[in-house]
Amino acid sequence: MYEKWNAVRWSTQLSDIRSLQMVTLVDDGQLTITVEDLRSPARKRWSIIFEKAPIYQNILEEFRFELWHKLNIIENDLGFTLKYPDSVWHKMIGEKEPLLDDYYPNMQHFQIVTEDDVIDVLSEKEPAIVEIEPAASGEPAPGKSIIHYREKNREEDIKD
């Protein structure tokens, strides 16, 4: 399914955070995705704000195994925020929804990879990415799964 999906690194302040977790996804006219760095002792959070995102999808990470195998994100230094300049997904949707490109002719395919979720977004503009208040003390960690780390790896990745 993913043989023609060719990602490029989308350099953002989140690209190299290896343990992002989605906290919320809110579509209220603009699409706001809040993520947290699970390895940050300060529990840093960011909002990724797309002014307009007419098409997006959220798929559990475990159902993207074929894509991970193809992309090899770590070894290829793609990071965890990606773009697809010649998006197969965009083309597929455009074939089914021909008005999409009439209304949004400059659509770009963005992808945010978290521990549990992979969020694909079609939008004409890059989103704003804004650091927000960290998680409150005692607030449970976000996410759908329990993630186990080797302590050595956790310490090496902390960049506060």
pLDDT digits (tens, 9 = 90+) for 114-137: 888 889 999 999 999 999 999 888
Residues 38-52, mean pLDDT to the nearest whole number: 94
Number of Cβ atoms within 10 Å of the Cβ of 142: 20
- Give, as one character, the DSSP assignment of residue 115: S
Confidence grade of residue 22 (pLDDT, cut at 50, 70, 90)? very high
Pairing of strands 55-60, 117-123: antiparallel
Give which of 128, 117, 133 is closest to 80, Cα–Cα: 117
Q: Which residues of 109-131 are buried (b: 16+ CB within 10 A; e: fewer)?
A: bbbbbbbbbbbbbbbeeebebee
Domain boundaries, the chain: 8-134
Cβ contact 33:132 at 8 Å = no
pLDDT at 144: 63
pTM to 2 decimals? 0.84
- % of the chain beyond a pLDDT of 90: 54
Q: Say yes or no to pLDDT of 60 above 90.
A: no
- Could you give the 3-state DSSP secondary structure of residue 63? helix
